[in-house]
Amino acid sequence: MTAGDIMALMPLIILAGGSVLVLLAGAVRPGWWLYELSIGVIACALAWTVCVPATAVMPGIAITPFFRFFSGFLDSAGIVALLLAAGYNRRRGIAGEEYPATLLFALAGMGAACAATDLLMLFLGLESFTFAFYILVAIERNAARGGEAGLKYLRNGTLSAAILGMGIALVYAAGGTLKPAELVVLGTARTFGATVLAGICLVLFGLAFKLSLVPAHLWTPDVYQGAPAPVTALLSTASKVASMAAVLLLMPIFSPGHAIHDILWWLALLSMVCGNLAALVQTSIKRMLAWSSVAQMGYAVLGLVVAPAGGLAAAAFYAVLYGAAGLATFGAVAVLSDDNERDGIEEYRGLGYENPLAGATLAVGLFSLAGIPPAGGFMAKFAVFSAALRGGEITLALVAILTALAAVFFYLRVVVALYMRPADAPAAEARPLLASEIAALLIPAVVTLFLGIYPTPLLDLLTGMLR
């Protein structure tokens, strides 16, 4: 390994080393200052990623513009999640160095997944951040619902890891390589054999779990509802974006033949329909957002179905916009929750006036998820739907448009509760927001609005990067 390789790997080294540093510092001097230290570590990794555009290719890993883009987004999401958790965890009594250290470890795993050049490194990266979320989901030890959510996530996650590992084993046994680039050559020289195709399908199903795609989605509502709100904010956004980046890295081996195309087609269709229909009847805001995330990932996969028609850039753009909107919505839920989690939709009546910033941020995030301009979700849906029409997937595009129209109902139901339905009891004086909470709300809300008004630079960047 050369000095240039080390320079290129520094963002991952900083995050992994920072995780160990926070654990050791917490053993010597525990306290809430560890959150500030962790934010500083992530900021250093983010600054290195942005300011030092080094590239390197090593066994199993490559530092490329693709990695730097997704790593930058994931690090930014990690900072927002820690800003939210600093106040939330103090109010809920979630003390200790385990939370920030585990979050840093999760970000390192996500970065490794985005830089992987073979299936083994991809597996290690994906399971590293999934393992970290097993801990974070159940971090609130006194919450029975959190323990239940952690157990359900662990049980389903280990199953998906086994399926993913089995798929990789089959691919290696029949193809003789773990490198997607070499598998593409194998696929163009001759059609994939049944064993390789079966392995690729298992790999795709393992990734479907990470993305909460139907039928690998049933864990999502229980885990989102049971986890602390800042954990749900990161789990529902950063982990989805990292998993989408992993799928984009594997798209060259998902492309040959109609079998994989048909699987992606059905994953998109079932996720859009089932996710939106289930969200319509929810009374819990976290469960509603969980089911909606199933549908949102279905829209992103719609872009993968029409990859030759510019769908890859549309899918990546959609994932990024969904990530920003998800941070805004779950961030507002975290800020508005005090001693008890504010989970019922009816509990948000009148809060848009009691806490204007949190209410406005929640509304912006919901508008984006619904695809209402000027929020960024409108441009994301337009990019995906137009790619589907260019690719000739008229049926899938029509289903997507109809389900998106139906979804407007349950998103606006929360906005109506915020601003058009007064609270039953007289409102208590609103808790003043911490500076960290204000920053955590403003960052995703501003990004969502900015990309809704001026999306061209990001779309051009993604198009050039994924061409």
- The Cα–Cα gap between 298 and 318 comes to 11
| pLDDT at residue 258, as a whole number | 62
- The Cα–Cα gap between 53 and 35 comes to 28
| pLDDT at residue 319, as a whole number | 94
| CA of residue 439 relative to chain centroid, distance | 20
What phi and psi, each to the nearest 5 degrees, are found at residue 62?
Answer: -140, 130
Residue 211 burial class via C-beta count within 10 angstroms: exposed 0-12, middle 13-18, buried 19 and up: buried
Task: Show me where the domains of the chain are located.
Answer: 257-467
- Closest by alpha carbon to 462, among 297, 299, 315? 315
Residue tagged 């470890």 (tokens): 105
CA dihedral over 241, 242, 248, 250, signed as positive or negative = negative
pLDDT along the chain (467 residues), means of 10: 81 93 90 91 93 82 90 94 90 86 94 91 93 91 82 91 93 84 65 78 92 91 92 93 93 72 92 94 92 95 90 94 94 85 85 89 94 92 93 92 93 91 67 89 95 93 87
- The Cα–Cα gap between 17 and 24 comes to 11
| pLDDT at residue 415, as a whole number | 92
For the chain, the residue count is: 467
| pLDDT at residue 337, as a whole number | 83
| pLDDT at residue 428, as a whole number | 62
Preceding amide of 422 cis, omega within 30: no
| pLDDT at residue 159, as a whole number | 92
